Every structure is written in C-alpha cells, then in structure tokens.
Amino acid sequence: MTVAQLKQELVKRGLPGSGRKDELLSRLVAEGAHVPAGRPNAPKKTAPKSATTRGDAAISQRARPEGPIVMVVESPAKCATIAKFAGSSCIVLACNGHVRTLPSKPNSVRPAEGFAMDFELVAGAGGVLKNLGAAVRDARALYLATDPDREGEAIAWHVHEALRDRALLPDNVPVHRISFSEITQQAVTNALAAPRRINVPLVRAQQARQAVDYLVGFTLSPVLWRKLPGCRSAGRVQSVALRLVVEREHDVLRFEPREHWHLKLRVGAANTRGAAVADKASALEAELTHLNGTKLEQFSLPNEAAASAARAALPAEWRVSRVQRSERSTQPPAPYNTASLQQDASNRLGLPVGRVMRLAQSLYEGVRLGGGEPVALITYMRTDGIQMSEHGVQSARSYIGSTFGSSAEWLPSEPRLFKTKARNAQESHEAIRPVDFSVEPRSLRGLMGDAELRLYELIWRRALASQMANALHEQLAITLWTQPPPRFNEGSLVRHLEALGIGRPSTYASILKALQERGYVTMVGRSLRPNHNGELVTALLTSPSARLEQYVNTSFTARLEARLDAISNGELDATAFLSDWW
C-alpha cells in the first residue's frame, strides 16, 4: 500500500493519518487490518502495540507477572487519595488533563483528506509523558483512570497514543481503561476489578466536536477580523450564546410598559351593631376579581379614571359567600446535574458559574478538612444525569429513615426515579450527590472554606430531598404587574442553553468566561449585558448578506449536538457525519 492509501484507510477508521510509513503500517496492523504481503517494512501482526475495534479500543499485550501497576489520573490533587485506596503496589501519576491538542493553525483539520486531524503536545506534556514512560517501564500494567466522560475518554486515548508513538510504552505492558464517579475505597477497588477497553465511539465524538469547532472558528473568525477589527473570535456555541444575550437585550429595550390598575380591598368583621371593624391588623386584604358579574382581566382597568369608577361601584358591605381551603402536594426536584447545579448555585448563592465548577471540582477530588488528608465529598460533577445510583438512593433512604423516621410522612414506600427532560442529554453517569449522606454540612463548619461548605450543603440537601416524601403546602395566588423580560444572568443563560440542547454542561463555564474575556458581554450587577462589540458580532453573523446565520442558529446547533451524541453511542460514523455537515 502507498502512503496515501495507508492514510486514507486510517482516516476511514477514525485513526490519525500522519506519520512515517512504518508508523502508519503499525497503526493499521494494530487495528487488525490485513496488509498485503511482500511490502517492505510491514510489521508482523503478532503482539501489536494496540488494537482498535469499532466498539472498543483493545489495548492489551502480554501481562508481566511482577512489578507495580501504574494508574494515570487527570489531576495531581487526587493522586494521594487514590494511591491510598489502590494500595502500595500502585503508582498513581497525573497527566494534568490533555497531553495533546488540536492547534489553532491552518490545516489542523483537512476535510479534503477525510477530515484528518493533526495533534500537538500541549506545553509541559513532554515531561509528563517522560515521567509516565519511566514509571511504566518496569510496571506490570497501565491503568488509564481519566475522568468518566467523553473528554476523559479522549484524554485516555491521547495518553496511550502519545506514549506508544514515542516508544515509551513497552510491548509487554497491558493497558486498561478504568473509571469511577466518586473517589472512595469501594469505587477505586471496583474499578480496578473491572477494567475495560477505551470506548472508541466516545473518542470519535469528541474529535468530531473538535473538528466542527475548529472549522466553524476558522470560517467565522477571519470574517470578524476583516469586517470588525478588534473583535477577537467566534465559535460554534459561544456565538449562539452571545446571540441569545443580544436578542434578550433588544427585547428589554423594545418593551413598552402598559398602564393598568387593579383594586384591593381591606375588609373587616362587623361588630355587634353592624359597623365594620377598621383594625388593620385583623382585616383581610382581598383583590377584586369580578365587577358587575364580569371577570376583570389584566387590562380591564386601563387608567385611573376606570379604576375610580370601578371603586365607586363597589358596595359598602360585603358578605362571605364561601371559604375554600386547598392543599397542594409537590414532588421534590431531582438531584443536581451539572447544568442545574450551575443555575441554582448562581441564583441562590450568587456564585459565578466558573467558580461553581472550581468548587465542585475540589469537593469531588478531596477537601483537606481541618488540614488533614483530602476527603472526597461529592460524586463526579460533570454529568447530564439526574438519577442517583442504586447505592446512592439506598444511602439517602437509609439516612432519611434513621434521622426523620420511616413513616410515609418522610419516606416514600418506593425509591423515586427521575428522567431528564433536557434535549440531547446523556444520562450514562449518575447525578451529583454526596459520597456519604451521614457527613452533614453542619459537621463541616470551621473545617473548610465557606463557599465550599455552602455548595456542599446545596448538593447534600437537594440529593437528600429527592428521596423524601412530597411537600404539602397551602396554595398561594400572586398577581403580577407587566414588566420587561429579565436580562440573562449566568444561571438563567445556562438554563436556556440546556433547554435548547446547545452545548454541554462541561462547556458552559468556559463559554461564559470567553464571552466576558473577549469583551462581548459585561456583568452589570448579576445581569449579562452585551457590549458594543458583542452587538456588532451578532449583527454581522445574523445578517442575510453574510450567509453565516446557520452557524449561530439555535436549531442547527442543537441538531449538531444530537448527531454528536449518536456518534458517542456508535450509531453514526464520525467521518460520514463530518462529510455531510461540511
């Protein structure tokens, strides 16, 4: 096979198509493909460095009988805790997230070559890989324990590829993929007992997203630089989010308040002589809903004159015709996923979305309580799921029963099940919950930062309440004045993006950060308001003459997310999707 044929075949299989001919041959043979005999430099098919199938990445070689195992995680902050759980025969090292990236330069993605992609090492990754290679040299196995999501799967794949490409991974060291959603002894033990292969469809979906973001950015950004000097960049989700903020601002500015009046009465019981008691404290305040047998609508009394005439027509004496009390039963909300946690923490705690995610990361990786060893307090914080695991549900119900009682007043007879209504949600991971419900927030006061404690309490209360009995309360009707639609704050923008099926929970914080850092929006109090450049960018991208509106169209972006999810599930080929989209 020629180099061109090798590259074409590798790209078809979703594998990197760059490198020397011998590297391309090795990669193809490792895939399990047949290479015609008689070609020079074709490696033997025995003991491949790695093998990839459509469903999984088979990365398994001859096992060594002795030596430590090496586990690779993303963050150095959790190395010590995981090492303690994994045992003395395990060396835990951090890769510090991505070791390779798709560079922002021309031809990093080449549609004409089957959307071949060239990756480069991130700054500092060379030293990380060297350290990993030194540890793996005498190891009996390598476990890739990056985060349990699409991005984590891609990081594991890149670590393996980078080690192999640099001849830092011995042929006789088996490689396994493991993951856990909480950092506990049981979770780590269970993960080590159930290694699996890299989920290639997840990796392909992540790379397809990278390719789309790269191509959209390289399509839109040069237009901005040429037409709007000073506007730094555009992006697939970033520009849609900006458009939402700009259009909401226009709705606010276009709003014209409409005058309307309503009448409230203060009525009191009559005394023994028939005179009304005017005591304000004991009087009942009521709102007039009908006048002369006709129901009053919101604008039935459009001005002061109409309100005065209605008031003059009211009788001097009123009688109680009916007293009706009602009780309403409300089910508790589901435990938090990433988006709902960002929304609630923003609205209720006043925390920026970016800080919410940093605090949640700390609670997941481990907090040094009172200066002691790190203790993980919550499960993995990047998830679309709103259903707790069976273990989590039973732990919550056990706590409720032992603390409040097992009567129907507190504990339902059956566990509650939740299913998300959000578009394009992936529910393969459980909701965010405490690792141990018995760790009450009040017991942590003085042992951790105030912001971390408040966020933990929010998560603890929400997860616990999700398995409690319905709340009973009296019905309360409220009459509102007309007012303009509220401007977006960070939480409400996240909620709107999630409802539209745009973006992913793990990207919302970075999107909001980019919009502000690039001078497109400004925080005024807690409201997001577009700057002049943000207005200009949206005007240009939505202009019919520019023919770029599809890139900032909410429906287009949501459909794109759905197709990326289909790639993750192995239902759609990544290259076919990119060819159709481009």
The CA distance from 119 to 242, in Å, is 29
Phi-psi map region of 97: left, alpha, beta (phi>0 left; psi -120 to 50 alpha): left
Please tell me what DSSP assigns to residue 371. G
Measured in degrees and rounded to the nearest 5, phi and psi for residue 472 equal: -110, 130
Query: Is residue 278 helix, strand or coil?
Result: coil
Span 524-578, pLDDT tens digits: 999 999 999 999 999 998 888 778 888 888 888 888 888 988 998 889 999 999 9
Domain at 61-198: CATH architecture: 3-Layer(aba) Sandwich (3.40)
How far are the Cα atoms of 187, 198, 363, 381, 403 from residue 435, in angstroms, in the given order?
10, 26, 10, 12, 18
Is 456 among the catalytic positions?
Answer: no
Please tell me what DSSP assigns to residue 63. P
- Asked, colleague to colleague, whether 61-198 and 338-474 share their fold, the answer is no
Neighbours of 284 (CB within 10 A): 11
Q: Which fold has domain 338-474?
A: Topoisomerase I; domain 4 (1.10.290)
How far are the Cα atoms of 67, 254, 255, 558 from residue 135, in angstroms, in the given order?
10, 64, 64, 43
The CA distance from 364 to 339, in Å, is 16
Whether the CB-CB separation of 386 and 337 falls below 8 Å is answered with yes
The CA distance from 338 to 336, in Å, is 6
Q: Which of 493, 515, 520, 508 lies closest to 561 in space, CA to CA?
A: 508
Query: Is residue 516 helix, strand or coil?
Result: helix
| Per-residue model confidence (pLDDT) at position 223 | 82
User: Residue 298 is encoded by which pair of tokens?
Assistant: 């919101």
Query: Is residue 487 helix, strand or coil?
Result: coil
The CA distance from 12 to 444, in Å, is 54
End-to-end CA distance of the chain: 29
Global pTM value: 0.73
Choose, from 364, 380, 508, 551, the residue flagged as catalytic: 380
Which residue positions in the chain have pLDDT lower than 70?
Answer: 1, 3-65, 269-283, 320, 324, 421-428, 473-483
Q: Which of 534, 483, 42, 5 lies closest to 258 in space, CA to CA?
A: 483
| Per-residue model confidence (pLDDT) at position 503 | 83
The CA distance from 128 to 74, in Å, is 11
Q: Spell out a b/e string for 197-232, using b for 16 or more CB atoms within 10 Å of the CB, else e.
A: bbbbbbbbbbbbbbbbbbbbbbebbebbeeeeeebe
| Per-residue model confidence (pLDDT) at position 42 | 35
Q: Which fold has domain 205-255+485-581?
A: Topoisomerase I; domain 2 (1.10.460)
Q: Which of 520, 564, 437, 468 lies closest to 154 in space, CA to CA?
A: 564
E strands, 361-455, are 367-368, 374-375
User: Residue 305 is encoded by which pair of tokens?
Assistant: 């004159």
The H or E element containing residue 206 is helix 200-227
| Per-residue model confidence (pLDDT) at position 270 | 59
Sequence-ordered list of residues with C-beta below 8 angstroms from that of 508, at least 6 positions apart, any chain: 338, 339, 342, 353, 494, 497
Domain residue extents for the chain: 1-48, 61-198, 205-255+485-581, 258-265+282-309, 338-474
Expressed in percent and rounded to 5, the helix, strand and coil fractions of the chain are 45, 10, 45
